[in-house]
Amino acid sequence: MILSLAPMEGITGYVFRRVHAQCFGTLEKYYTPFLPTPRVGSRFGGRASKEVAPAHNRGLNVVPQLLTKNADEFVWSAQMLAEMGYREVNLNLGCPSGTVVAKGKGSGFLRHPEELEAFLRDVCARSPLPVSVKTRLGLSDDSEYEAILDVYCRMPLAELIVHPRVQRDGYRGEPRWEPYGRTLERAPFPVAYNGNIFGVADFEALVDAYPTTRHVMLGRGIVANPALARMIGGGPALGIDELRRFHDRLFRAYEEEIGGNAVFRMKEWWSYAKDDFADPHKVIKAVRKARGVADYEAAVERVFNTAELA
């Protein structure tokens, strides 16, 4: 079974990947949060350049994820990534953000299956790296997925990662497993599942329902509980001391990278990690009140000294 880390904007970047691997062992795969493609002839810049810098991903099997509808820019980016030593490139067809969708990118690309097919046929033919896709079922209705899946099944994809919600769902409600199962039956390439695996019971229910599952991508569940992959493998549950060590390493690593803004980045992590505790409302309230590093460290000290794990 392949367990991978999902691409989560602002959360599962190279700092998180590195610290998580140090504390809880490496996963089989890690996907970068989506990277905008540079224009042909240009290089990755800003955050994207840091995400794909080989030094930041050494020892990890990282798959860069691109967000674009421009085939030339996709192929140009794949060429640069191949030169850096990457072995696969992933296309984001799942982002539900309104601003992304309005530009016809992410899940917005699913609105036009004919254009998507032409794009995929082109990039699969020209990319120096195998092309995988992370997809939703459509924009507003599950019925859209039939035509979209037809397109995928005609493509030489390296893998299709299915997040079985539509764009309109965002991350609300339960994922629909039936379209994922249909994909397993029909696809001539490997298929992966992503969505609402928050604990061992969720994982086991999925695999019991679909025994041919071979790859599960973990997102919010493993951000909240960094020991989730270990637990799925039959290992021990998360302990308060190791959660504290993970927090401290992550905070210090963010401080080294972004200075005082590390507090704001850690608050994003706490929006998920609060659910590790018996009283998540109390935990997140204490952390959110912190305004600076000293306030934040005092709040965290109180949380770890007084709060109980769920």
Tracing tokens 């509808």 back to the chain, one arrives at 69
User: What is the number of other CB atoms lying within 10 angstroms of the CB of residue 290?
Assistant: 19
Per-residue pLDDT reduced to its tens digit, 234-293: 999 999 999 999 999 999 999 999 988 999 999 999 999 999 999 999 999 999 988 889
Please give the structure tokens belonging to residue 77: 């980016």
Output Rg (C-alpha) for the chain, integer angstroms.
20
Strand partners, 216: 3, 193
Closest CA to 238 of 310, 181, 288: 310
Q: Which residues contact 50 (CB under 8 A, 6 or more apart)?
A: 13, 14, 56
Which segments in the chain show pLDDT lower than 50? none
Please give the structure tokens belonging to residue 188: 């001539």
User: What is the SS3 assignment for 277?
Assistant: strand
Cβ 289 vs Cβ 299: under 8 Å = yes
Q: What is the pLDDT of residue 290?
A: 87
Q: What is the pLDDT of residue 260?
A: 80
User: What is the SS3 assignment for 151?
Assistant: helix
89-93 and 65-67 beta bridge pairing: parallel
Q: What is the pLDDT of residue 229?
A: 98
Concatenated DSSP letters for 228-262?
Answer: HHHHHTT-PPP-HHHHHHHHHHHHHHHHHHHGGGH
Taking the model in full, what pTM does it have?
0.95
User: What is the number of other CB atoms lying within 10 angstroms of the CB of residue 73?
Assistant: 18
